[in-house]
Amino acid sequence: MSYFEIIGGKKLNGEIEVRGAKNAALKAVAAALLSREKWTITNFPFIEDTNRILEMVENLGVKVARGSNQVEIQAKSIQKNSLDKNLTKKLRASIILAGPMLARTGKVEMYHPGGCVIGRRPIDMFLDGFQKFGAKIKWQDGHFRMSAAKLAGAKIFFPKITVTGTETMMIAAVLAEGETILENAAMEPEIPALADFLNKCGAKITGAGTPIIRIKGIGRNGKIRGGKMELIPDRIETGTFAILGAICGGKIKIKKCNPNHVRAFLVNLSKAGVKFEEKKNELVIWGAKSLKAINVSTHEYPGFATDLQPPFTLLMTQAKGSSLIHDSIFDGRLIFTDILNTMGSRITMNDPHRVTVNGPTDLHGKKIASPDLRAGITLVLAGLIAKRKTKIENIYQIDRGYERIEERLRKLGAEIKRIQK
């Protein structure tokens, strides 16, 4: 066990690079199981979540070779039909492995996936999708078994937009027989990026990045070739670092990012009074001398990302006026605001999806614990602007999404250290 110790109030300056997208990395590892040939995935972030999914595929008998910011995966054979119980319970994205395993071997056994506790996140849509492909599902003692002699193309309408659900069904459909149509599909940039690479390797996917995706399956015996895939930059890191610059800068240059992937976020950042300059692969953020309170509502892409709501809520604690934050995606994502209130913020919970933030307020360092990934990094940012010392425990949650974050922040001038218990 370890924790972060932060001394706040330091003005930060310098450059920070965005790592490869966490969500893109997880799905690329799963998609690599479709091929018997070697996939090389570059710009790969070695964080807790990606390390766990690599361990899971290694446990299946898949060869994994880790390098500097890249990983090689070759699934000549998948030797097991079951996913490790302990690892599955740590990672919600483990459900995405079920698709290629079912397509390759015809059988999957796994426990209900875990991950962040941010409201109800059922897997019904995943299981309904697999059933439409022809899989039979049996529940027993907290885990389920799926079997299918082959996957048949299906028409799947998502009653609620789901990123992981869209990607899971898209990956599974590649080795199905016949055409699959996904309707009301998610449109996040990680989806067309994965589809484009799969197409280069022999898949037949059209419409990725739109609400309707069509996949012409090549069958279980079809060939998906190997290749080299570069992951897109993490748009959530991009937005998080932009808020860091707004509340702690100085002047911070965010490198190796894609501003087009956070367009809705940048529009709201500008409305709040944050000055920035964008280039093709860079953002320059200047510390805001005064911030204006604005209302924000999260929405599926290309709207304001729910994963950027927690740090933006922190930003509003430093803005003049009253702002309404509405997280329309998850019903538990705003609970972390109670922790900010212990540090001195004035946030009122209206209902599970809405809070009112009154600012500006001075924050004071406290002993706190990270409840989930995005709230955790928000608490790090809060500690960086708080008076006195902040101690953050349960930083495993932060490590799930941010690679060596304390080292990267120290290069900007932050006083933060990881302390092992």
Q: How far apart are CA 161 and CA 182, in angstroms?
A: 11
Burial level of 419, CB count in 10 A (0-12/13-18/19+)?
Answer: exposed
Cα–Cα distance for residue pair 206/215, rounded to 1 Å: 7
Percentage helix, strand, coil, to 5, in the chain?
A: 35, 30, 35
Catalytic site residue from 116, 201, 248, 257 = 116
The answer to whether the beta carbons of residues 211 and 185 sit under 8 Å apart is: yes
Which among 192, 198, 186, 121 is positioned nearest to 156, based on CA atoms?
186
Written as one letter, the residue type at 279 is: K
Query: Is the peptide bond between 122 and the residue preceding it cis, with omega within 30 degrees of 0?
Result: no
| Distance from the Cα of residue 167 to its chain's centroid | 13
In angstroms, rounded to a whole number, what is the distance separating the alpha carbons of residues 367 and 356? 24
| Residue-by-residue DSSP string for 13-69 | EEEEEPPBPHHHHHHHHHHHTT-SSEEEEES----HHHHHHHHHHHHTT-EEEE-SS
What is the Cα 245 distance to its own chain's centre? 21
Residue 260's contacts (CB-CB under 8 Å, 6 or more residues apart) are none
* Separation of alpha carbons 304 and 316, rounded Å: 15
> Given the DSSP bridges, would you call strands 38-42 and 227-230 parallel, antiparallel or unpaired?
parallel
331 Rama class: left (phi>0) / alpha (psi -120 to 50) / beta: alpha
Known catalytic residue at 201: no
Contact 389, 6 (CB under 8 A): yes
Q: In what helix (H) or strand (E) does residue 350 lie, and over which residues does it extend?
A: strand 346-351
Are 194 and 203 a contacting pair, CB within 8 Å? no
Residues annotated as catalytic are: 116
